[in-house]
């Protein structure tokens, strides 16, 4: 299955950007996923290619026009069913669970990247766009957020990561942050690798890693730790 992705943006030159490199870039070359970039500005009908206007009700900044955005969406959404994501700080926070859901989906994805003060709400409502966010902070536009989400999703697509077992041990895969990792040299700046990792005793190593993951999560992400404890109590 080839995952099809369309990006609607005012800055098409930003793509593929980082998505053309590393594992995700190789997957793009192998056609494990496809990337289509649509320039929203090309759907403006006046000679200045105007895509924004002042806010009704006053206030600073400009808002992207619904008629222009609608034409851009119509050019891609009418070709078949697709899941439309609007990148905005007011959306649901993107998490690993959604990344797995998207990676296993057969639906094409359309990412609508806003700029300025945002996009007229009417066109978002008309198309049933899903608001999605990276977190409680503001970017100048949705492009970098779209790239980040796609990097997280594409790497989960079968065939992208060589050792797929490694995905099972990652942070959030079991509701915990990942344990610490070590490699050669065995001693570095008087710091040594934990003895248990050199023991060859796989059961003890797994117990140590589980304890490490729990301790790191409890210290660094108490919110995740509380969710993990609640889930453990129910099972």
What CATH code is carried by the domain that includes residue 68? 3.40.1280.10
32 and 148, same domain (yes or no): yes
* Nearest CA among 14, 63, 64, 3 for reference residue 38: 14
> Is 117 in contact with 61 (CB distance < 8 Å)?
yes
Q: Which of 121, 154, 187 is the last residue of a domain?
A: 154
**Domain's final residue, options 89, 122, 154:** 154
pLDDT of residue 116: 94
Check whether residue 74 and residue 18 sit in a common domain: yes
The predicted structure's pLDDT at residue 162 = 74
Band the pLDDT of 78: cuts 50, 70, 90. low
Look at residue 169 and tell me whether its pLDDT is greater than 80.
no
Provide the domain limits for residue 181. 171-234
pLDDT the model gives residue 225: 95
Burial class (CB in 10 A: 0-12, 13-18, 19+), 144: middle
pLDDT at 65 (0 to 100): 97
Q: How far apart are CA 15 and CA 201, in angstroms?
A: 47
Instruction: Give which of 41, 85, 48 is closest to 64, Cα–Cα.
Output: 41
Q: Are the beta carbons of 29 and 132 closer than 8 angstroms?
A: no
Query: Average pLDDT over the chain, rounded to whole?
Result: 93
| Confidence at residue 168, expressed as pLDDT on a 0 to 100 scale | 65
Q: Is it the case that residue 80 has pLDDT exceeding 90?
A: no
Domain count, the chain: 2
Q: What mean pLDDT is predicted for residues 148-161?
A: 96
Beta strands in the chain (DSSP E): 3-9, 33-39, 52-54, 62-64, 83-93, 109-113, 130-133, 187-188, 191-192
Confidence (pLDDT) at 165: 65
Strands 109-113 and 130-133: unpaired
Judgement on whether residues 54 and 102 belong to the same structural domain of the protein: yes
Q: Are residues 202 and 118 in the same domain?
A: no
> What's this model's pTM, rounded to 2 decimal places?
0.89
Tokens matching residue 81? 């069913």
DSSP for residue 165: G
């Amino acid at each position: 299955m080839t995952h099809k992705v369309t990006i609607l943006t005012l800055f098409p030159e930003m793509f593929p950007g980082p998505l053309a490199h590393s594992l995700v870039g190789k997957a793009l070359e192998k056609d494990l996923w496809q990337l289509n970039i649509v320039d929203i500005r090309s759907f403006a009908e006046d000679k200045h290619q105007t895509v924004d206007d002042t806010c009704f009700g006053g206030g600073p900044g400009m808002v992207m026009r619904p008629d222009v955005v609608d034409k851009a969406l119509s050019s891609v959404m009418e070709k078949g069913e697709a899941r439309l994501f609007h990148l905005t700080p007011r959306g649901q926070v993107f998490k690993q669970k959604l990344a797995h859901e998207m990676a296993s989906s057969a639906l094409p994805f359309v990412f609508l990247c806003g700029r300025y003060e945002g996009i007229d709400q009417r066109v978002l409502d008309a198309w049933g766009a899903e608001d999605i966010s990276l977190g409680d902070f503001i970017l100048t536009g949705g492009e970098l957020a779209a790239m980040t989400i796609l990097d997280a999703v594409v790497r989960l697509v079968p065939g992208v990561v060589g050792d797929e077992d490694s995905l099972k041990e990652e942070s959030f895969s079991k509701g915990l942050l990942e344990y610490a990792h070590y490699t050669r040299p065995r001693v570095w700046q008087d710091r040594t690798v934990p003895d248990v990792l050199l023991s060859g005793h796989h059961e003890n190593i797994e117990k140590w890693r589980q304890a490490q993951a729990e301790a790191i999560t409890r210290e660094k992400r108490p919110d995740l730790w509380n969710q993990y404890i609640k889930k453990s109590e129910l099972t």
